[in-house]
Amino acid sequence: MDITLDKNDDQLSAILTVHLTEADYAATVDNKLKDYSKRAQIKGFRPGKVPVGLVRKMYGKSILVEEINGLLGKAVDNYIKENNVRILGEPLPVASDIDFDTQKDFDFKFELGLLPDFELPADQTLNVERHQIGVDEATLQETYDQISRQYGESTNPEASEASDYLYGKLKKADEEGEGRTVLLPINKVKNNVDKFIGVKANDSVTFDLKDAFDGDASAIANFSGLSKDEAANASGEYVLNVEKINRTTKPELDQELFDKVFGKDIITSREEFDEKVRTTVQENYDRESDGLLNRQIVDQMVNNTTIEVPKEFFKKWLVRANKGKLTEEQVEEHYDDYERELKWSMIRNKVVEEQGLKVSNDEIVERTMQKILGQFNMEMTPELQESIRSFADNYLKQENGKNYVDEYEAILAEKVLENLRGKVVVTDKPISAEDFRNQAASQR
């Protein structure tokens, strides 16, 4: 057996050629034929007495192909590992004319995509902004309104009032069809709000959408289902065909509500409830801010790291690796996104390798336990620990270990971003919750 690697001029792809001679496979094929002749059951012959020549005639070609395929797989894998060839995806077989009936020696070729060496940007040369989000009273009031809608008593009154919601179908006045289902909050209407007061089921309200919400594209998008761009360009009269009025009576701020929102006896007073709401809202915004910061770090690293990708190979590999799911046309259409994901994957792997980042089994189990507690809004106690641990272990074994791998990858990704965060310049930028929401909506 002889294996050669010939790099193309671009140094990003190569052809791996495996040359097999009869000596590489003949002995193994003969042994398999003999073994098969002992086990074969062919009419006219006693078990174990089938002539090897007959078995060769009937099954020799399939056994030969099977043996050669096995040899090729091991040979290619070993060559790549032993020679530390860094490849993209997997080797792609190059089509060729092979005659297993007459040939004794064979040449098999494989196309490889080669991953290049690259350098990460120097430490402290990239700049990102972290939003410091201030939670104002208006944002807190929205949170209390959400709590009221979720835990309050819902009714469908005959006529609408200023704090109600109108449920129905919205469409442009000159459009055909029913329109899209919406839930319009009357208290968000800025102009001509009287049109929405006293409305009953089966009524139709005709109004200027943009004027009603004072041109606030975010408010329009939030209830209408329109994209931010569509909402910004919405103009003219719209019709809302009302199907029902939704009204929610605010719940009492008592222990029953405290327990429903945060768990049994975790909060025991109105003061504690207000503080917990504020803290929870702030923590949620902080997580969103961290998520945005991480996305900025990824973007900065990808945009400022020079990586040459074997494009043509990558395109072919994407189609073959996703056979039946991705076409050549789809790959071409979204190629920039695929290449960006590949570059980030290479950057991430380089950080893991250079920094020696690892994830322990204890970290995976602990993370899973905390997720379970969060889902049930519980806090860890000594009494719960054993049962939650058992639940976590069982979850991680499900899906043939996929859940375990997913948790591993998630923790590793967090460690990579945490490491990179220390290598970029992070500037804090104060911003109100409302401005942050509007900015996030504009980037969707």
Q: What pLDDT, on the 0 to 100 scale, is given for residue 436?
A: 86
Q: Could you tell me which residues are beta bridge partners of residue 19?
A: 2, 107
Q: What pLDDT, on the 0 to 100 scale, is given for residue 39?
A: 72
Tell me which of 180-194, 263-277, 378-392 is least confident: 378-392
Q: How far apart are the first and last CA of the chain?
A: 56
**Model confidence band, residue 443 (pLDDT cutoffs 50, 70, 90):** low
Tens digit of each residue's pLDDT (9 = 90 or more) over 257-300 = 999 998 888 899 999 999 999 999 999 999 999 999 999 999 99
User: Which single residue is written with the structure tokens 């379970």?
Assistant: 372
Q: What pLDDT, on the 0 to 100 scale, is given for residue 263?
A: 83
What dihedral angle (degrees, nearest 10) is formed by the CA atoms of 291, 296, 297, 302? 130
CATH tag, 285-430: 1.10.3120
Q: What pLDDT, on the 0 to 100 scale, is given for residue 229?
A: 83
Q: What pLDDT, on the 0 to 100 scale, is given for residue 386?
A: 86
Alpha carbon separation from 246 to 257, 340, 375 (Å, rounded): 21, 46, 29
Q: Could you tell me which residues are beta bridge partners of residue 80?
A: none
pLDDT at 165 over 90: yes
Cα distance between residue 70 and residue 108, in whole Å: 13
CATH tag, 2-114: 3.30.70.1050
Neighbouring C-beta atoms of residue 88, cutoff 10 Å = 19
**Model confidence band, residue 397 (pLDDT cutoffs 50, 70, 90):** very high
Estimate to the nearest angstrom the gap between the alpha carbon of 150 and the chain centroid.
Answer: 29
Q: What pLDDT, on the 0 to 100 scale, is given for residue 49?
A: 67
Q: What pLDDT, on the 0 to 100 scale, is given for residue 442?
A: 57
Collapsing DSSP to helix, strand or coil, 90 comes out as: strand
Rounded average pLDDT over 383-408: 90
Rounded average pLDDT over 188-197: 94
Q: What pLDDT, on the 0 to 100 scale, is given for residue 373?
A: 85
Cα distance between residue 93 and residue 82, in whole Å: 20
DSSP secondary structure string for all residues of 412-438: HHHHHHHHHHTTSEEEEEEEEHHHHHH
Cα distance between residue 441 and residue 65, in whole Å: 58
Tens digit of each residue's pLDDT (9 = 90 or more) over 199-247 = 999 999 999 999 999 988 888 988 888 887 888 888 899 999 999 999 9
The per-residue pLDDT of the chain, averaged, comes to 90
CATH fold match for the domains 2-114 and 285-430: no
Q: What pLDDT, on the 0 to 100 scale, is given for residue 376?
A: 75
Alpha carbon separation from 221 to 7, 67, 178, 443 (Å, rounded): 53, 62, 19, 13
Q: What pLDDT, on the 0 to 100 scale, is given for residue 31?
A: 87
Rounded average pLDDT over 102-128: 93
- CATH for 153-249, options being 1.10.3470, 3.30.40, 3.10.50, 3.30.70: 3.10.50
Cα distance between residue 423 and residue 122, in whole Å: 8
Most confident of 22-36, 386-400, 406-420: 406-420
Alpha carbon separation from 319 to 109, 325, 336 (Å, rounded): 19, 8, 15
Tens digit of each residue's pLDDT (9 = 90 or more) over 126-139 = 999 999 999 888 88
Tell me which of 46-50, 121-125, 181-185, 324-328 is least confident: 46-50
Could you tell me the sign of the dihedral formed by the alpha carbons of 27, 29, 31, 37, in that order? negative
**Model confidence band, residue 437 (pLDDT cutoffs 50, 70, 90):** confident
**Model confidence band, residue 440 (pLDDT cutoffs 50, 70, 90):** low
User: How many Cα atoms sit within 13 Å of 214 on the Cβ side?
Assistant: 7
What's the length of the chain?
444
Cα distance between residue 170 and residue 185, in whole Å: 13
Cα distance between residue 182 and residue 196, in whole Å: 14
Q: What pLDDT, on the 0 to 100 scale, is given for residue 439?
A: 72
Alpha carbon separation from 159 to 163, 208, 241, 280 (Å, rounded): 12, 22, 14, 35
What's the Rg (C-alpha) of the chain? 33
Cα distance between residue 355 and residue 347, in whole Å: 12
Cα distance between residue 260 and residue 262, in whole Å: 6
Collapsing DSSP to helix, strand or coil, 373 comes out as: helix
Cα distance between residue 183 and residue 168, in whole Å: 7
Kindly list the domain boundaries of the chain, sorted by start residue.
Answer: 2-114, 153-249, 285-430
